[in-house]
Structure 1
């Protein structure tokens, strides 16, 4: 089979890559583009560890083919920080001890950022619903929910 040439934008930068027709976006990100922040947890879209946004839509990159990124805008965990300055969600996760082993954290952060961009003043129920597709076996969810809720409040107060 011949490889597919894909032109896309990843974390604000134009990117060209070649991929096999059956390669997932997750595999392309990690193996071809060395963006290893996005993690593989289950490979079946059940855990959310591989969450990225594609054209501002939250997706499991293990369920999307790399070739489907053609012409799209992809954002990964590597695109959250602004240079050396962490995104407020990242800072809040550290402050609230909402991370441990780190496998699920990138996907949860990307999902939480997507939520706050769409709904800057979410209720706790909405945060829990939005993050329901992200599984964490280490921290439990209370610290994660508190970190997202605090970030939402901080961002509203700062604007």
Structure 2
């Protein structure tokens, strides 16, 4: 049995699970950073995403793997707190913008379709401290974040 011509092969990642660089280059803390750093038996063997797979510093190696596998699509998520460390456009992290734009541009150059998830369960801790998803203010915060992403990433 063969897959039809034009069948798309892809892989999926999420920022917290692969990037690492939890406090690199101006990134603010996410709810997962806070949760895993509290220690105890919250997470298996007290693990954190501080390093994860190291994709933040090893993107070129990841791209080689994507090409080697012959993927046609790659879905990744943006870390809200890497782009907007306090969750708002009051402080924009240009290094975060540059990182995600590099991923997108590298994928396109290599004929891999990027698919971007705006959010994958890693809310900025600053927004969580204001009530997070239980606060009505999160609606405006997410709207601002989404508009920011569509404009700059």
TM-score (norm 2): 0.27
TM-score (norm 1): 0.26
Based on CA coordinates, which of the two structures has the bigger radius of gyration?
A: 2
Larger strand percent: 1
Q: Which has the higher contact order (CA 8 A, sep 6+)?
A: 2
Larger helix percent: 2
